Amino acid sequence: MKSILLIDHGSRRDEANYMMACMANLVQHLVGETAAVRFAHMEICEPTIDQGFAACVEAGADEVIAFPYMLSPGRHSTSDIPKMVGRAAARFPGVTHRVVPAFGVHEHLADLILERAGIARARGLPDDSAGCCWDPAHSNGACGDACPAKALVSAQ
């Protein structure tokens, strides 16, 4: 069984930490019984990444997909979290794991920004926008792993 481990930074604010339990519960509802969804915090509070990974395995996971619950491909999501997940995974040699990129640039995030701002979309995306790099300089990859163009190239 696959498992999704949502990982945020962790906070001194209880409400921020509890939000991860709510998000994990929402994602679990959406996937039903097809995957186990758990959460962890990188630091400051529990559950730790070690505890979250173990919870995935206890739920029956033979594959853990770690999702850095962060907007950009910064140091935590590209370096710290993969290292911490790797250390946690070492305790479970029969379980595969991977760390997927942070949220990055995505149409649904843009829609959420507009919704929260109370502004309606003025237009849809162009038909050829799948995997489009939205960098004003058209660099096709300036935002690293978060770039939709890079994700499209990686999938090919």
Q: Which residues are catalytic?
A: 9
Sheet holding 35-41, edge to edge: 35-41, 2-8, 63-68, 96-99
Cα–Cα distance, 109 to 48 (Å, whole number): 27
Ramachandran bin of 85, using left for φ above 0, alpha for ψ from -120 to 50, beta for the remaining angles: alpha
How far is CA 64 from each of CA 7, 49, 87, 128, 134, rounded to the nearest angstrom? 12, 12, 13, 33, 30
Which of 45, 57, 47 has its CA nearest to residue 90? 57
Which of 46, 2, 53, 54 has its CA nearest to residue 20? 46
Beta bridge partners of 2: 35, 63
